[in-house]
Structures are given as C-alpha cells and as structure tokens.
Chain A
Amino acid sequence: MPRLDAVRQQALSVAIATGAYAISFGALAVAAGLDLWQTMALSLLVFTGGSQFAFVGVIAAGGSPAAAVTTSTLLGLRNGFYGASLAPVLRPMRGAHRLWASQVTIDESTAVALAQPADDLAARRAGFWWTGVGVFVLWNALTVVGALLGSRIGDPAQWGLDAAAAAAFLGLLWPRLASRAAQAVAAASAVLALALTPLLPAGLPILAAAVVAVAAGWRGRRAEEVPA
C-alpha cells in the first residue's frame, strides 16, 4: 500500500517537527512557575500547542489565571472548525471513539488528513489518526523531558524546526490548492492574518480567516471549485 506508507511518512515527519516543540513547552512551563504535574496536565488535557504556549506565556508575564484561560481558549477555538471539516472523513463515530478523535483534532492531524486525495477515505483516516496519535505520544513524552531538563536542551529554532513546521503546513496545503477559488481563499487568509497580527490578541488573526471561507462559500459554485 504505497499510499498508506506515504501517509505514515508524512504523519511521522509532522509528529517529529511538532513534538520537538514540547521540549520548549515543558521548559517554559516550569520556568513560568508550574510544577511537573501541572505541565504534564496541560499537554495531556489541553493538547493544542498554541493554547498551551499562550497559557504559560500569560502566567510567565505575570498575567492573571483568568487571562491565561481566555487566551488559551481563543487559540483553541479553530479546532472546532476542524472537527466539522473532518465530518465526511471520520463519521460515523460514537462513544470513546469520538472523544479520542476530539482530543487529537488539531492543526497537524487535520492538515495531514485533508492533504490526502478526497476519494481515498482510508488514506485520509490514516492521516488523521497516525498524525493525531503520533503527535499526542511525542508531545506528551517530550513535555516531560523539557520540564525535567529545562532550558539546557536549547531552542528548537536553532535546529530550524520552526521553519520546518511552517514548511510542513505549506506542503500539506499545497495539494488542496487545485482550484482558483482555493488559491484565492488561501492567499486572502494569509494576508488577512498578517494584517491583523499587530492589532489583535494571539489566536484571533488566524480565526478571522474563517470570514474569508464564509465569503467564498456563500454563493453557489461548481463542485470542483470547493476544496474537498
């Protein structure tokens, strides 16, 4: 099954590039004054990287716990949109299956799932679960490493992993930009998020791109114009 191997390779490279950031997260959380258990709880239970970094960032800057919760939540809202976009891929689901799928619904698992061909449901499902579970395992293991070793490991940016993560998202977006409409939505969303970054709190510039999708999807279109 060459297609599934390619999916697993994508899932693994995304899990490594993302998981490495958990080392930073663990170190920053401890530096912000959280203990090991609190740091682990954030990675296990919140499990959405941007939200976790925002949470410890607010605490480290002396912000209130309520502000930490608000900022963290703003960054996690987009996962709700992902769940709806993944409905044709993952449903029907019930019980524990749906709870697990929810917990691992993040940028990475969504991007790898939807980067697979729309007519290959098995590849899309494999992409979601391999990436979601792969990131979950690495993220939580490396959170502990970061919390215990602190900042001694160094900054993942030194290894270019911040650029690797951005390149991975570009690569996952690429196959979905077949139609002019999808290209226009991606370009407008990217520009809008950059324009809003200096003006709005973290998380909102990305969430605001949903407006572009609503505008693009509002009127009727030929089926091939809409990214599957």
Chain B
Amino acid sequence: MSAYAVAWIAILASAALAFGAKLAGHTVPESWLAHPRVHRIAGFISVALLAALFSVQAFTSGSSLVLDARAAAVAVAAVLLWRRAPFIVVVAAAALVAAGLRLLGWG
C-alpha cells in the first residue's frame, strides 16, 4: 500500500476514534448519571479538565515547564477577572500583553 493510502487510513482511524470518544459521553445512560456519586464526579470533572488544560496552555511548551509572556498575560487576565472586567476585555488584554512583551523581545 502506498504511503498516501496509509496516511488516509490513519486520518480516518483518528477521526473514528475521536468521534467515538465524543459520542460515548453523550450516550452514557441517564441511570448512571443519576447516581449521586457519578453526578458529583461529573460536576467536578469539567472543572478539573479545564483547569489542567489552562495550566498546560499557559505554563508548558512541549514537555517542559516554562514561564514566558503567557504567564504575564494570564496574570493580567486574572487581575482583570477579579476586578470583574468583561470577558472580551480579559481575552484582548491577554493577547496584547503577550504580543507586546514578545515585541520587546521577552518570552
């Protein structure tokens, strides 16, 4: 089989597995989710995964931990959130801080 065909098979396999994971979550029976323990875990799990995603996005590069312009930008974002700034202001300020610092040659 050509390398081109193998690449297509890999793409379609990835697509099927990605979709399977997504669909599985939407197919979990109601009766399981109604169980109090499962209900509590489901409530915490999106907080846990999104907090983990945030920290990986803000403080890692590949497999190393880094403090760069992103750290400064999310620190500014945290202060703005604490001061109850609108969402779009928080996001735009973070982009500006990171882009500005990089323009100055840091991070």
Q: Which residues of A contact B (CB under 8 A)?
A: 6, 9-10, 13-14, 17, 33-35, 38, 41-42, 45-48, 51, 55, 59, 65-66, 68-69, 72-73, 76-88, 90-91, 93, 98-99, 101-103, 105, 107, 110-111, 114, 157-174, 176-177, 181-182, 185-194, 197-198, 202, 205-210, 212-214, 216-218, 220-221, 226-228
Given contacts A46-B18, A98-B26, A198-B63, contact A163 B47 (CB under 8 A): no
Number of A-B contacts (CB under 8 A): 313
CB of B106 closer than 8 Å to a CB of A: no
Within 8 A of A (CB), among B10-49: 10-15, 17-19, 21-28, 30, 33, 36-37, 39-49
Within 8 A of A (CB), among B46-79: 46-60, 63-65, 69-70, 73-74, 77-78
Given contacts A166-B70, A167-B91, A226-B40, contact A42 B11 (CB under 8 A): yes
CB<8 Å pairs between A and B, sample of 21? A9-B88, A13-B87, A34-B7, A38-B7, A42-B15, A82-B46, A88-B33, A90-B26, A107-B49, A157-B102, A160-B96, A163-B94, A166-B54, A166-B70, A170-B54, A170-B78, A190-B51, A205-B52, A207-B49, A213-B41, A213-B49
Contact A79 B33 (CB under 8 A): no
Q: Label chain A's interface by main secondary structure.
A: helix
- Cα(A5)–Cα(B25), bound, Å: 29
Given contacts A72-B14, A105-B25, contact A171 B90 (CB under 8 A): yes
Contact A17 B65 (CB under 8 A): no
Contact A83 B22 (CB under 8 A): yes
Given the complex, which residues of A lie within 8 Å of B64, measured CB to CB?
197-198
**Smallest CB–CB gap between B72 and chain A, Å?**
8
Picked from A46, A101, A160, A208, the residue with its CB within 8 Å of the CB of B99 is A160
**Smallest CB–CB gap between A132 and chain B, Å?**
11
- Cα(A172)–Cα(B50), bound, Å: 9
Given the complex, which residues of B lie within 8 Å of A6, measured CB to CB?
87
**Smallest CB–CB gap between A177 and chain B, Å?**
7
Q: A42: nearest residue on chain B (CB-CB)?
A: B11
Contact A185 B26 (CB under 8 A): no
Given contacts A79-B25, A86-B25, A166-B74, contact A102 B56 (CB under 8 A): no
- Cα(A72)–Cα(B14), bound, Å: 7
- Cα(A155)–Cα(B100), bound, Å: 15
Contact B55 A190 (CB under 8 A): yes
Contact B17 A69 (CB under 8 A): yes
Q: Label chain B's interface by main secondary structure.
A: helix
**Smallest CB–CB gap between A111 and chain B, Å?**
5
**Smallest CB–CB gap between B19 and chain A, Å?**
6
Picked from A59, A192, A226, the residue with its CB within 8 Å of the CB of B44 is A226
What 9 A-B pairs come out closest when comparing CB atoms? Answer: A83-B25, A167-B94, A163-B98, A217-B40, A160-B98, A217-B41, A160-B99, A45-B15, A163-B73
Given contacts A83-B25, A197-B63, A226-B43, contact A169 B54 (CB under 8 A): yes
Contact A160 B22 (CB under 8 A): no
Beyond known contacts A42-B15, A160-B99, A212-B44: 5 more, CB 8 A cutoff: A73-B21, A81-B49, A190-B54, A194-B65, A217-B44
